[in-house]
Amino acid sequence: MNEIIESVKNLSIGFNSQKGKQISILRNVSTNIKKGETVGIVGESGSGKSTLALAMMGYIKQGLFPLKGECLFKSKDLLKMSSRQLEKIRGRKIAMIPQNAGQALTPNLKIGYQIDEALKLHTDLNKTERDKKISELLNKVRLPSPETMAFRYPHELSGGQQQRVAVAMALAGKPDLLLLDEPTTGLDVTTQAHVLELLRFIAKDTGTSMIYVSHDLGAIAQVSDRIVVMYAGEIVLEGPARKILKEPIHPYTYGLLKSIPKLSLAGLPASMPGSQPQPGSINEGCSFYDRCNLATDNCKKNSPDLEHIKELDTNVRCFNYKELINQNNNLQTSITKKSNNSEANEVLKLKDVSISYAKQKFFDQLLNKISDQNPTVKDINIDIKKGETIALVGESGSGKSTILKSIAGLLKTKDGQIKFENDRILSSDLKMRNPNDLRAIQLIFQNPDESLNPNHTVEQILSQPLKLYFNLSGEELKKNIIDLLKKVRLGEFYMSRYPRQLSGGEKQRVAVARAFAAKPDIILCDEVTSALDVSVQAAVLNLLQQLKEDLGTTYVFVSHDLAVVRAISDRVAVLYQGRLCEIGPSQNVYKFPSHPYTEVLLGAVLEPDPDIKPKLVAEDIVEEKPPEKGCSFQGRCPRKIGDICNSEIPPWQIGENGNAIRCHINIEELASLQQ
């Protein structure tokens, strides 16, 4: 167990800036990987995790080059090897499982071929033995019908299946070390939990060492024996997983853990100010100085070394780490949020709403109707109160964004009505809505890079809605823009910036400011924090909550992340295949009884705690279409009771906790099953 497989020594990697300056993005990184051990490397995007992982295979991305240090694999430096020598090691001794298997599998080659290629390169098996091995491998990663699977092209598989193929391919050469770069990012929650479970099983079964790179402490917590925390290209904390997660003694890790919303905790997570410095902008002092609440003058001038603390078996890069020892109780706190006034009137009602993406047939077009018997979204009934935050939760394809688009008037409804204020029916066609209704409902998108015009300055972006809805100009316009920026905690000087000059969190703030510029009654938030790092996510969540408390805005908040939903929302609606499964106050959705689908989702949540393991109750299959009749969840339901689920739409039942649940199982029975 103590044999070292690979050791990185004082590694620095950098690039030449346009001004000819040498800028390092990895600085003096040293670490060891032992046999049979899984090491998690965690950090925000841009912290150098991927660069480090790739360097450990002797691969340096184009444009970058090693400045100093070495990567010793079995005491030979990978960075000095010829490509011939590396071919012998890659895939055979060290194998990679990429972030996005969908893009990492060659599109014109069948998956059987791609696995066979690895077998041919790295084993001496003959053709029949290899064919058998391919089936074996596909079986091992738990893909259905391995025989036919081998003849499929990558695009014919779902995201989770592609990721499994990548795992099978990596295992083909029986490597000693597996490198995984964000292997579950971008997968659905349930799929993610399944893939992690598979990886844990493989690590145990084959004794392979693993390096697991991720920005997600929840995922890291599930697989790692040891954790390395990176910040701005440096290791800031390194030690046994349990210690790092439960008693983090570096201010960055501490703040990171606090900013993750947790299922067990009501209220919003605390956020860390600021963002990670850009490579090249760190001159002297500690790179975390700007964001650190323990910083002293010493930190500004001197940069701390990575110090080994024997009794904790931990390396830490901080002058003041002692202040954090035994502070772990504070980790379990959060910011309580003001609950909304439940007496308030309803502002938005969805009544029997169905939405279809089916192409209109010619005759239907003439009659202006849609005759789809099995629409993507069906029979949605939700009443939303003023000042309330209602969350729509479900895996990808569950129809969350579809419903948002319909409320915004971007997508026609097939049946049903959307009623706004005093039961006035809103046309589902944007062009038929009056300007005031358009102003009253605003959207914020997942990816600010796509929703902000790259050629406009922040000032131009924010002035558009102000001009359009309020006819402002001159001094007044400027004053309003500055006010808006202040609301989202951005200084006046941001006015002249372009989106590319902003960090991810700043961009999302500008998007929030743009939505608020219209003084809307309702804001539709579509996965607004999914593309952000956790520390930034916490800041945006707190910002949204603050604005709502000040201005009384109503949010419809779409997310796949139950923990985030728990933190921000007052009420949760759970969707599967475009049908409502459960709806209720968010503090209760996490209490049983739950709809079987909610139970599956709750079980799959990854908490940054090695003691809380996900419960995998349902298969992670992907359904392309909702079932024609019966319960929408019949295809995957682990509690399915029989034919009635296939034939009849289940009734709504109200549980003890006030949740409405749509299931054929009697609600009391469900409660006792879930105890």
What does the binding site for another protein look like in residue numbers (CB under 8 A)? 54, 57, 59, 62, 83, 86-92, 95-96, 98-100, 103-110, 117-118, 121-122, 153, 155-156, 166, 169, 173
Q: Does 43 bind ligand SF4 (CB under 6 A)?
A: no
Q: Does 20 bind ligand ADP (CB under 6 A)?
A: no
Q: Does 31 bind ligand ADP (CB under 6 A)?
A: no
Give the one entry of another protein, Mg ion, ligand SF4, none that residue 43 binds, where binding means its C-beta sits below a cut-off of 5 to 8 angstroms depending on kind: none
Give the one entry of ligand ADP, Mg ion, ligand SF4, none that residue 390 binds, where binding means its C-beta sits below a cut-off of 5 to 8 angstroms depending on kind: none
Q: How far is the CB of 53 from Mg ion (least distance, A)?
A: 8
Q: Does 277 bind ligand SF4 (CB under 6 A)?
A: no
Token readout for 183 is 């292997």
CB of 171 within 8 A of CB of 95? yes
Q: Determine the Cα–Cα distance for residues 286 and 304; give it in Å rounded to an integer.
A: 6
Q: How far is the CB of 534 from ligand ADP (least distance, A)?
A: 13
Q: Determine the Cα–Cα distance for residues 374 and 413; give it in Å rounded to an integer.
A: 13
Q: Determine the Cα–Cα distance for residues 192 and 184; give it in Å rounded to an integer.
A: 5
Contact segment (CB under 6 A) with ligand SF4 among 138-146, 147-155, 192-200, 636-644 equals 636-644
CB under 8 Å to 180, separation ≥6 — which residues?
96, 97, 199, 210, 211, 212, 213
Q: Which residue has the tokens 């600085």?
A: 27
Which helix or strand (DSSP H or E) is residue 598 part of? helix 596-604
Q: How far is the CB of 232 from ligand ADP (least distance, A)?
A: 9
Contact segment (CB under 6 A) with ligand SF4 among 106-114, 200-208, 366-374, 629-637 equals 629-637
Q: Determine the Cα–Cα distance for residues 170 and 273; give it in Å rounded to an integer.
A: 40
Considering only 36, 48, 112, 154, the residue that binds ligand ADP (CB under 6 A) is 48
Q: Does 277 bind ligand ADP (CB under 6 A)?
A: no
Q: Does 576 bind ligand SF4 (CB under 6 A)?
A: no
Give the one entry of ligand ADP, ligand SF4, Mg ion, none that residue 48 binds, where binding means its C-beta sits below a cut-off of 5 to 8 angstroms depending on kind: ligand ADP
Q: Does 214 bind Mg ion (CB under 5 A)?
A: no
For 416, other C-beta atoms within 10 Å of its C-beta total 19
Cβ nearer to ligand ADP, comparing 454 with 474: 454
Give the one entry of another protein, Mg ion, ligand SF4, none that residue 292 binds, where binding means its C-beta sits below a cut-off of 5 to 8 angstroms depending on kind: ligand SF4
Three-class secondary structure of residue 401 per DSSP: helix
For residue 593, cis peptide bond before it (omega within 30 degrees of 0): yes
Q: Does 378 bind ligand SF4 (CB under 6 A)?
A: no
DSSP assigned state of 302? S
The residue type at 376 = T
Q: How far is the CB of 46 from ligand ADP (least distance, A)?
A: 4
Q: Does 15 bind ligand ADP (CB under 6 A)?
A: yes
For 312, other C-beta atoms within 10 Å of its C-beta total 16
**Within 371-472, where are the H helices?**
400-408, 435-440, 448-451, 458-470
Which helix or strand (DSSP H or E) is residue 308 part of? strand 307-309
Three-class secondary structure of residue 136 per DSSP: helix
Token readout for 60 is 């340096």
Cβ nearer to another protein, comparing 133 with 412: 133
CB under 8 Å to 428, separation ≥6 — which residues?
406, 409, 411, 412, 413, 418
Site string for Mg ion, 45-84 (x = CB under 5 A): -----x----------------------------------
- Measured in whole angstroms, the distance separating CA 31 from the mean position of its chain's CA atoms is 27
Question: Interface with ligand ADP by CB under 6 A: which residues?
Answer: 15, 25, 43, 45-51, 61-64, 279
Question: Interface with ligand SF4 by CB under 6 A: which residues?
Answer: 251, 286, 288-289, 292, 294-295, 299, 304, 318-320, 596, 631, 633-634, 637, 639-641, 645, 650, 663-665
